[in-house]
Copies of this chain bind each other. A is one copy, B any other.
């Protein structure tokens, strides 16, 4: 291995998503020389901006809410303002062919159906309350919970079909998967990291409470601007030669000698980098077992947020698809009106394969079934298929199958020699969210600081 006596930089960060940038920012603030190498054409990772009908829309991470302290602090520090998500008016649920409106957070379903959902929510809440952050394998009955998918667990609890259907909507939005793909223990630990099911799903008081008029992506852009020439885009890291105390990071055009590396890409993407020597067995096995979900987001723009006139707040849940959850992210009541729609799991797998004009048609028809035929008259439309992004591997986050968390959870963020792991998936709080990305980046930076101090001492 080529090794100069003075490394080019202290730390190389692989990936310029929120997590990698937060790590680089923290290290730079403490006086360390850092380079950030991004494979894709732009910074921001799973945050991305698009100008739709003159309005900034977030094609990736969008919302923030209470408890997400690190992303909120970073938003303040980088001068990115956020405001309340629009909730005035009634929500609606399209359920077995009927569209019903409701107030508050509980959809209008039959009494039996609601009772069963409440029963299962209670059980979930009780298990989650007994979980310890960073140690889901210590949960009571952890092995049994990890042997179940969400589907097989609901079946073992004799959940009604309606409860299965509602949890399917939750799985599609939250993880971009169907309930038969995900470990029950992983789902529970994820809910724990959000502070519970309500906080995860709610708009007011929950993870969808606020969003950024200038785009959440601007947080990444501001950090990258601060870092300046330290950040290089369009520069995939192909190979990392590592030893105790240092590494050489190879792109197609550079070989960077450094003392530590922060790999800030999703676990499923780690395998696209050739590590020399190879990573330990459990790290490579983990990389095969931590897939990303399949989530697609669409935005449709209208002259005005016409649904507001009809008393609707723009939030609709649907069991019909392809769009199964919507939000109103219009900047102002007098226009333009912006609807955000989520397409995930099997709906996204089907939708993503369609040509562009059919995707638009399908998405607008889906909105029309919720908001009436006016929804067909979009002035502009955009979609973002996260599973089609080769350097990202899917979104919004990882969908861990049964039997993996209990065996490989301890390995996920465990450093290997000079290599440290970031990315929202490695956070113990708000994993999968922008907040988790920042937390993980800052944690990795602290690990590097300790390692760099140890070398000096």
Residues of A within 8 A of B (CB): 143, 146-149, 151-153, 155-156, 177-182, 236, 238, 268, 271-272, 274, 278-279, 281-282, 284-285, 288-292, 294, 346, 349, 352-353, 385, 387-388, 390, 393-394, 401-404, 407
**Distance between Cα atoms of A178 and B290 in the complex (Å):** 17
**Distance between Cα atoms of A271 and B274 in the complex (Å):** 11
**Distance between Cα atoms of A143 and B180 in the complex (Å):** 9
Name the B residues within 8 Å of A407 (CB-CB): 346, 349
Q: Is the CB of B272 within 8 A of A390?
A: no
**Distance between Cα atoms of A60 and B271 in the complex (Å):** 24
**Distance between Cα atoms of A450 and B277 in the complex (Å):** 40
Minimum CB–CB distance from A195 to chain B (whole Å) comes to 27
Q: 24 A-B Cβ contacts within 8 A? A: A143-B180, A147-B155, A149-B149, A149-B402, A149-B403, A152-B152, A152-B156, A152-B402, A155-B156, A178-B403, A180-B402, A180-B403, A236-B274, A238-B238, A268-B271, A272-B272, A279-B390, A281-B353, A282-B353, A285-B292, A288-B394, A289-B401, A401-B402, A401-B404
Q: Is the CB of A180 within 8 A of B147?
A: yes
**Distance between Cα atoms of A385 and B387 in the complex (Å):** 33
The chain B residue with its CB closest to the CB of A403 is B181
Which of B147, B156, B388, B401 contacts A403 (CB under 8 A)?
Answer: B401
Q: Is the CB of B390 within 8 A of A284?
A: yes
**Distance between Cα atoms of A155 and B153 in the complex (Å):** 11
Minimum CB–CB distance from A57 to chain B (whole Å) comes to 22
Q: How many copies of this protein are present in the complex?
A: 2
Q: Is the CB of B143 within 8 A of A282?
A: no
Name the B residues within 8 Å of A346 (CB-CB): 407
Name the B residues within 8 Å of A177 (CB-CB): 403
The answer to whether A281 and B403 touch (CB under 8 A), given A148-B152, A156-B156, A272-B272, is no
Q: Is the CB of B294 within 8 A of A291?
A: no
Name the B residues within 8 Å of A143 (CB-CB): 180
Q: Nearest 7 A-B pairs (CB), nearest first?
A: A401-B401, A181-B403, A147-B180, A288-B291, A278-B390, A147-B151, A152-B152
Q: Is the CB of B285 within 8 A of A291?
A: yes
Q: Is the CB of A180 within 8 A of B387?
A: no
Which of B147, B271, B387 contacts A272 (CB under 8 A)?
Answer: B271
Name the B residues within 8 Å of A394 (CB-CB): 285, 288
The chain B residue with its CB closest to the CB of A153 is B152
Which of B147, B290, B294 contacts A149 (CB under 8 A)?
Answer: B147
Q: Is the CB of A285 within 8 A of B294?
A: yes
Name the B residues within 8 Å of A281 (CB-CB): 294, 352-353, 385, 387-388
Name the B residues within 8 Å of A353 (CB-CB): 281-282
Name the B residues within 8 Å of A151 (CB-CB): 147, 402
Minimum CB–CB distance from A271 to chain B (whole Å) comes to 5
Name the B residues within 8 Å of A288 (CB-CB): 268, 288, 290-292, 393-394
**Distance between Cα atoms of A403 and B426 in the complex (Å):** 24
